[in-house]
Structure 1
Amino acid sequence: MKKNKDRQLDDLSIPVYQIITDDFEERAMENFSDKPEFDVTRFFFKNKTQSFSQRMWNGMIMAIQSAGEHDDVIVVCSQKHLFTEVYNKDFLVNCIIEANTSGVNLLFGGIGSFTNVVPVTENLFWIDSVTYFDFFIIYRSIFKSILEEQFVENDDFFSKVCSITSNKLTMYPFITNIPTNSYSPKMNSSNNNLRKVQSIYWSYILE
């Protein structure tokens, strides 16, 4: 059984849709070059007459429309996404599988500031509103709802996505990072806050 599972993980291909909204950076391509578990497609939305939020939304819609018939999950990320040092394939896959058993619709690889958090497992946390996310997993269960959602001119991409469902989790430790960005302090703050919550979880639930 374990041998078969390992073989399945070795052959795993996770569809990733990277949305390019600005000048394309080589590091965006190099970031996935040594990770064969990802099948990366890039969409370019550089029309500056549209807001960043509109371009990200359009890219996400195209990603969902491009998903294969048997794709139960897809990953959407921006060109700024960088993997953290803690990333490894087994951790990501386990989080995806565990989150699915909880009936989740969205799973974030890292987040900006949030309001409320509840630990679900050692590495998965329910969160409500989120100010920022970059690398996130969309489950097929919410494809239709997103496609039917109306996006208007002044909508904020992050707020809009979060408002579609309450069934959303973030994994921790974060596997995505943006080193030079106005959202970086918020991600660092969230990282510290979740570390504290995880420590409490270890102390009172796992013991």
Structure 2
Amino acid sequence: MIKKMDRIDVYVINRVNRTDRKASIISEFLNKKELQMILVQAIENPIGAVGLWQTIYNIVGQANKENMDHVVICEDDHIFTHNYSAINLQKAVYNAIQLQADVLLGGISWFTNCYPVGKNLYWVEKFSGLQFAVIFKKFYSKILNTNFQLGDSADYKISSLSDKIYFIHPFISIQRDFGYSDVTAKNNSKDKVEKLFKDSSILVEATKEVKSFYKKKIEKQVKPLTFSNFDHISITTYIINSNDCTNVLSRIHSQFEGRTEFDIRMISLCEHNNPEKAYLITLKKIIQQATEEEEDVIIICDEDHLFTTSYSRSCLIRYIIEAHQLDTKILCGGIDDFETAIPITRDRFWIRTFKSSSFVVLYQSVFNLILRQQISDNHTIECFYRELTSNKMVMFPFISQREGFDGENSERKHNSNEFLSSRLTKIYQIAESSDKSLRS
């Protein structure tokens, strides 16, 4: 049972020279009897992000000394939305405590991944937007012991310190657009902040809708599929070759040796001074050929593709058929990076967008979309696939990776199979804990 909420102290950070912000934030709390606003003078620093962190550090340090169960920190550009109420905040704090949250946010302007874990409550991976944050006691030490470096920002730093961050949606807090930012230079333009929160909210709703859409489709599949009679299947597989080097050709052929489920066709990468455009022109050429041959499904592989230890013929066929039943148009065997992933089954995620993939299954339903899509000079592979369709999935664990993708350079480490897999695993764990259908 949720007990009546005592009056909550809210520590509002304000720079002494920002009188416009001070007047704005005072007006926000005038009729909020359940909240006691305490103005905190921001620590001045030539780098706004550093000054903000130092101020947060001091507030959390004081909360730690006083053994407070949680502390609410607010920035002076915060405004309450019409969705705010004392009871909504109280319920969210209570539910966050049940989830052993480190941080609860009133609203966010950007995020990488989120997942609904309860009514009006979402888990979030990485975010921006600290204008209204509840920080819980068990997280104090993380903030007090972390090393905040030049180039860091408070919201990204907190994201990196915890995988137990949640936000309320519909948002109860957004930022007032003053046309400038003391912390984030890129937000120094009129209406920029308002648009960020609006776009973020739309994406949260889309995430919820995608989850609901696939859950209903799966529930309608009464009979489970059996895969005992697919030994004869051989899928046309195009390998895009940009290098005539004998070693490269030998290596890619060795990946498919003895795998009769693939009908291999080598195709040379079309010539163009823009490698992304060259790939897309080649893709259209492949799709035109597949259309003429009335293919139902094809696979496109890059020459640096490697099968992972998770690959098996039976799994591939099952993934392809089951994904087709869910109206999937693009199914990746692995991805180089992604934005917004939602677990649909134990072994497949819906993805909003992906950077690229060395192993892509394309269904007939997407062929005409590809042929009709114009290729602009600034088109990337990521943009092209994103604009085609929202019906995209990735197999998990990955069955494909790029040769050398787990190399030593920092970009590859950040987007390595191990790093991406750990992100997807965490998203799945969060989803599984709140969605019983994923456990079956």
Same fold (TM over 0.5): yes
Verify: 1:103 aligned to 2:336, yes or no.
no
Call closer, same or farther: CA 1:184–1:136 in 2, change over 3 Å. farther
Alpha-carbon deviations, 1:30-87, whole Å to 9, x = none? 111121110010111263x432212211221122122264421100111011100110
CA distance in 2, matches of 1:113, 1:57: 18
2:311 and 2:398 map into 1 onto residues whose CA distance is: 8
Choose which of 36, 45, 59 in structure 1 pairs with 2:269: 45
Give me the whole-angstrom Cα distance separating, in 2, the residues matched to 1:42 and 1:6: 30
Q: Give the Å deviation of 1:199.
A: 3.3
Contact 2:353 2:385 in 1 (8 A): no
The yes-or-no answer on 1:18 pairing with 2:239 is yes
> Which range is displaced more, 192-201 or 124-133?
192-201
For the residue of structure 1 that corresponds to 2:264, the secondary structure is strand
Over 3 Å counting, the alpha-carbon distance change for 1:22 and 1:158 in structure 2 is: farther
Q: Which residue of 1 aligns with 2:352?
A: 128
Structure 1 residue ranges without an equivalent (≥5): none
**Residue 135 of structure 1: CA displacement?**
0.5
The answer to whether the 8 Å contact 1:122/1:202 transfers is: no
Alignment partner, residue 35 of structure 2: none
Aligned 1:102-181 pairs, distance under 5 A: 102-181=326-405
Alpha-carbon offset, residue 126 of structure 1: 0.7
Cα drift, residue 180 of structure 1: 1.4
CA–CA distance in 2 between the matches of 1:46 and 1:160? 17
Q: Count matched residues.
A: 202
CA-CA distance at 1:194 after TM superposition: 1.1
**Residue 66, structure 1, aligned to residue 289, structure 2:** yes
Cα distance in 1 for residues equivalent to 2:257 and 2:386: 30
Out of 46, 54, 58, which is 2:277 matched to? 54
Asked whether the 8 Å contact 1:111–1:187 carries over to 2, the reply is no
Q: Which has the larger radius of gyration?
A: 2
Q: Which amino acid aligns with 1:53?
A: E
3-state secondary structure, aligned to 1:150: coil
Q: What TM-score does the superposition give when structure 2 sets the normalisation length?
A: 0.43
1:97 partner amino acid: I
- 8 A contact 2:242–2:268 mirrored in 1: yes
Q: Secondary structure at the match of 1:120?
A: strand
Instruction: Please tell me whether residue 31 in structure 1 is matched to residue 281 in structure 2.
Output: no
Q: Out of 72, 79, 88, which is 2:303 matched to?
A: 79
Kept in 1, the 8 Å contact 2:235–2:298? The answer is: yes
Which ranges in structure 2 are unaligned for 5 or more consecutive residues?
1-225
- Residues 112-143 of structure 1 show CA distances to partners (whole Å, capped at 9, x for unaligned) of 22221111111111111212211011110010
Using the TM superposition, give the Cα deviation of residue 159 of structure 1 relative to its aligned residue in structure 2, in angstroms: 2.2
**What residue identity is the alignment partner of 2:427?**
V
Moved over 6 A (4+): none
Larger RCO, structure (CA 8 Å, separation 6 or more): 1
Q: Give the drift of 1:148.
A: 0.7
- Quote the Cα distance in structure 2 between the aligned partners of 1:75 and 1:177: 15
- Say if 1:114 and 1:127, in contact at 8 Å, map to a contact too: yes
Contact 1:111 1:132 survives alignment (8 Å): yes
Are 2:270 and 2:282, in contact at CA under 8 Å, matched by a contact in 1? no
**Structure 2 residue 425 is the aligned partner of structure 1 residue 195:** yes
